[in-house]
């Protein structure tokens, strides 16, 4: 447990284990605590880093305009790796964290061994009309961010009644939310379009989707098709985030991907 001074703010992070560095990036409205099952599992073989993005959890304030938020949060992670003397890492992002993983892969390619994107997306609808409607919906969602968490928890309880661990973590994060900064990050997602950039990402990628069907699965299949070296895997019988609803399957799929990378890395170093 530590706090780093990064880009004029503070970033709370935890680091555990040894080996190939793997940094987990949390989803929207969540914190580093969403990766409890992964930290325990993967730190036995890898150097696991979890943190709170600026504006979230125990990290410093988010004051940037919405157009600069994603790039600023990505830069924070790169500076954090610099301070930890880590040249290259695997970036695992869930939901909003998946957007950051994609951005880092094309903005900082020399710092990325591979990316894992789970339950995320890579662009808004290309239609100008739909984009405008999505932007309007984002602005209108303001009340949901400032509403007391107790108002929202019953519906969350109902949705996640089959996945107790997921509910507990989501509930904890809702009770500690920072509504103003969270809302700004929601607006930052409006207009995201990484379509062209993704075609230039040469690192290995794993795309994970929770559920058997629906928009989430479609988005992740499309993302895997856009990335030159991506594989797609499904986490059935789950809601996002799959790492909490089906942690054993999520960990197994991620472990297979990371173990392959580790072997390739050792061969390069040995050669």
H runs (alpha helix) in 86-213? 96-107, 128-140, 142-146, 149-159, 164-175, 179-188, 195-198
The per-residue pLDDT for 133 is 46
Q: Is the pLDDT of residue 127 over 60?
A: no
Q: What are phi and psi of 213, to 5 degrees?
A: -160, -175
The per-residue pLDDT for 143 is 64
Q: Is the pLDDT of residue 139 over 50?
A: no
Q: Is the pLDDT of residue 135 over 90?
A: no
Of 136 and 163, the structure prediction assigns the larger pLDDT to 163
> pLDDT by residue (tens digit) across 3-49?
999 999 999 999 999 999 999 999 999 999 999 999 999 999 999 99
The per-residue pLDDT for 71 is 97
Mean pLDDT for 87-101 is 97
Question: What confidence category does residue 159 fall into, taking pLDDT thresholds of 50, 70 and 90?
Answer: very high
- In this structure, of 145-149, 185-189, 238-242, the range with the lowest mean pLDDT score is 145-149
User: What is the pTM assigned to this prediction?
Assistant: 0.94
Edge-first strand listing for the sheet containing 230-235 = 2-6, 9-16, 47-51, 21-25, 89-94, 112-118, 205-210, 230-235
Question: What confidence category does residue 129 fall into, taking pLDDT thresholds of 50, 70 and 90?
Answer: very low
Question: What confidence category does residue 141 fall into, taking pLDDT thresholds of 50, 70 and 90?
Answer: low
């Amino acid at each position: 447990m530590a706090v780093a001074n990064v880009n004029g703010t503070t970033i709370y992070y935890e680091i555990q284990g040894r080996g190939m560095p793997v940094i987990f990036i949390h989803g929207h409205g969540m914190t580093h605590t969403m990766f409890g099952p992964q930290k325990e599992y993967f730190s036995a073989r890898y150097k696991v880093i979890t943190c709170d993005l600026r504006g979230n959890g125990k990290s410093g304030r988010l004051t940037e305009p919405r157009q600069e938020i994603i790039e600023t949060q990505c830069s924070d992670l790169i500076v954090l790796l610099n301070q930890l003397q880590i040249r290259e890492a695997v970036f695992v992002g869930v939901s909003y964290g998946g957007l950051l993983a994609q951005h880092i892969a094309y903005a900082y390619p020399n710092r990325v061994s591979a990316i894992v994107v789970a339950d995320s997306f890579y662009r808004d609808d290309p239609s100008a009309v739909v984009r405008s409607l999505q932007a309007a919906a984002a602005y209108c969602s303001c009340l949901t961010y400032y509403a007391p968490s107790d108002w929202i928890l019953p519906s969350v309880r109902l949705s996640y009644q089959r996945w107790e661990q997921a509910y507990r973590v989501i509930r904890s994060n809702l009770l500690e939310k920072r509504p103003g900064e969270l809302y700004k990050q929601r607006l930052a997602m409006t207009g995201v379009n990484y379509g062209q950039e993704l075609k230039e990402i040469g690192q290995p990628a794993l795309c994970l989707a929770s559920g058997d069907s629906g928009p989430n699965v479609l988005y992740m299949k499309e993302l895997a098709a856009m990335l030159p070296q991506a594989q797609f895997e499904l986490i059935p019988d789950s809601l996002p985030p799959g790492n909490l609803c089906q942690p054993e399957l999520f960990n197994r799929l991620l472990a297979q991907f990371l173990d392959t990378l580790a072997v390739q890395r050792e061969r390069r170093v040995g050669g």
